[in-house]
Amino acid sequence: MKFSCLLVTAAAALVSTSLTASSNELKSRVLLVPGLASSRLSASIKTDGAAWCRTHGNHFALVWISLRRIFCSHYLKLVFNPITKTYTNRPGVTVKVPGFGKTNTVECVGSFILCTLLRSLNLMDQMVKFFVRQGYQRGADIRAAPYDWRLAPDSLRAQGYYAKLKGLIETMYNGKKVTIATHSLGSLTTLYFLNSVVTSEWKNKYVKAFVPMGAPWGGAVQTLSGFLYGYIPASNQRIIPRFIMNYSRCIIRTLQSAYFLAPRPDVFGSQVLVRTPTKNYTAQNYQQLYQDIHYPIGWQKHQAALGVIKGYPNPGVPTFCIYGTNVPTPEQLVYNKSGDLLNAIPKIIHGNGDGSVNKESLEICHRWAKKVTVINKVNHSDIVRSSQVMHEILRIATADTIQ
Ligand SMILES: *[C@@H]1O[C@H](CO)[C@@H](O)[C@H](O)[C@H]1NC(C)=O
Ligand SMILES: *[C@@H]1O[C@H](CO)[C@@H](O)[C@H](O)[C@H]1NC(C)=O
Ligand SMILES: *[C@@H]1O[C@H](CO)[C@@H](O)[C@H](O)[C@H]1NC(C)=O
Ligand SMILES: *[C@@H]1O[C@H](CO)[C@@H](O)[C@H](O)[C@H]1NC(C)=O
């Protein structure tokens, strides 16, 4: 009895592998590029600091995100050189992005325990499982290109990320072009690649479609809360202890990607983003804001980061833009008292967007997208878990001619 069950199972496994193998030939493979903080980072930490953070020998320890090393995250702080406008890790620290080309580090951003406890951390796991149910094989038909999300595209280029990305897409090409589906910051990371790294001949040969989801093309007001008091989801800010906010703020102020995602003047114009009784701050007077929070170096980082992608260049491939709308989204931070800019938690005025990214920033893709899919009342993180979105990506990947 047992033996025949085994045989049946073995036969079924054989049939299913041969099915997968033969349908592989037909698939346009899908590459995922995750967003800010949405893939793992490991580090070798050889400093005089906290003993529980230090690593030994050639060992790289998971830092983002590990319960055990959650308070070692300050070793992920970047050091800015104001002369060269470049970033390095802290002395004694080396950071690695594990899992390039696989999907596991975007399916589960943290250690096994964290992923089990906090399902909300795993943004792309349902997307990968969906494609696997459609016969896609992990690491072959569906892959991911995680990157060091602390950095903006110019630094990623210097680090060699785009050369690896180009090689990965060429490897995935199986006679059918590759579909690139990106989330949030990953969409800007990919826009830079398509616009400034590869040629149109290369794109015509290898890229079937670019599917950016919830892309903050023109930045997001929520980013400013990171510099001011520590980045946290706007909805449940009251339950986060203040020392954790302070801790995260001191890290966020060093991240190039945070400046890269600040609201851009050409999109937010004269809109008041931060308000105190005596001063209004718009995207046109950041310099003043950084002065008033006693962080003048922030202005230099900010200027350098906003210049990384100039304007909103056309990616030059068929683009299918997807985003959520009608979710209350931070639009203005209001401080009661003038001195509060340094210490208080502001009141947040909400406007339209996907909960994290403002509508006017999401909408920029209308300029060049072949198709835009706007999904009502689905927020920034749920957009990659939406079944409508998964079916749309599958449709794009499998259609002979895409509309
Ligand atoms: C957080 O930072 C603010 C401003 O620097 C400070 O006033 C406050 O005491 C800090 N809170 C904690 C718990 O560290
Ligand atoms: C700031 O802007 C608001 C409009 O958002 C305006 O009502 C207010 O008077 C301005 N305050 C200052 C100090 O300019
Ligand atoms: C602003 O001031 C009012 C009353 O003066 C107070 O109730 C409220 O909590 C303050 N809001 C913030 C965000 O500090
Ligand atoms: C997005 O929406 C889901 C379901 O409505 C909710 O559980 C989640 O907290 C929201 N995420 C954010 C970042 O607001």
CATH no. of 29-39+124-398: 3.40.50.1820
Q: What is the mean pLDDT of residues 290-306?
A: 95
Any atom of ligand 3 within 6 Å of the Cβ of 336: yes
Q: Which ligand is nearest to the CA of 355?
A: 4
- pLDDT surpasses 90 at 10: no
pLDDT in tens, 356-369: 999 999 999 999 99
Q: What is the mean pLDDT of residues 219-236?
A: 81
Which ligand 2 atom sits nearest the alpha carbon of residue 277? 13
Q: Are 214 and 357 in contact (CB under 8 A)?
A: yes
Q: What is the pLDDT of residue 194?
A: 98
Q: What is the mean pLDDT of residues 104-122?
A: 86
pLDDT in tens, 253-287: 999 999 999 999 999 999 999 999 999 999 999 99
Structure tokens at 200: 């149109």
Determine the residue of 238, 336, 343 to mutate for testing ligand 3's pocket, defined as the one with the most ligand atoms within 8 A of the Cβ atom. 336
Q: What is the pLDDT of residue 68?
A: 87
d(CA 36, CA 68): 21
Q: What is the mean pLDDT of residues 58-72?
A: 92
Q: What is the mean pLDDT of residues 330-341?
A: 88
The predicted model scores a pTM of 0.91
pLDDT in tens, 180-219: 999 999 999 999 999 999 999 999 999 999 999 999 999 9
User: Using 50, 70 and 90 to split pLDDT, how confident is the model at 25?
Assistant: low
Q: What is the pLDDT of residue 8?
A: 39
d(CA 380, CA 398): 25
User: Using 50, 70 and 90 to split pLDDT, how confident is the model at 232?
Assistant: low
Residue 52, classified by CB atoms within 10 Å of its CB into exposed (0-12), middle (13-18) or buried (19+), is exposed
Q: What is the mean pLDDT of residues 280-296?
A: 96
- pLDDT surpasses 70 at 22: no
Of 191, 184, 156, give the one whose Cα is nearest residue 315. Answer: 191
Q: Which ligand is nearest to the CA of 244?
A: 1
- pLDDT surpasses 70 at 14: no
Spell out which residues line ligand 1, taking CB within 6 angstroms: 242-243, 246, 342-343
Among 52-56, 151-155, 226-230, whose mean pLDDT is lowest? 226-230
- pLDDT surpasses 50 at 3: no
- pLDDT surpasses 60 at 343: yes
* Nearest CA residue ID for atom 1, ligand 3: 336
* Nearest CA residue ID for atom 4, ligand 3: 336
Which ligand 3 atom sits nearest the alpha carbon of residue 340? 14
Q: What is the pLDDT of residue 340?
A: 81
* Nearest CA residue ID for atom 3, ligand 4: 382
Domain ranges of the chain: 29-39+124-398
Instruction: Please tell me what DSSP assigns to residue 138.
Output: B
Any atom of ligand 4 within 6 Å of the Cβ of 34: no
Query: How many angstroms does the Cα of residue 335 sit away from the middle of ligand 3?
Result: 8
Of 380, 373, 375, 334, give the one whose Cα is nearest residue 357. Answer: 380
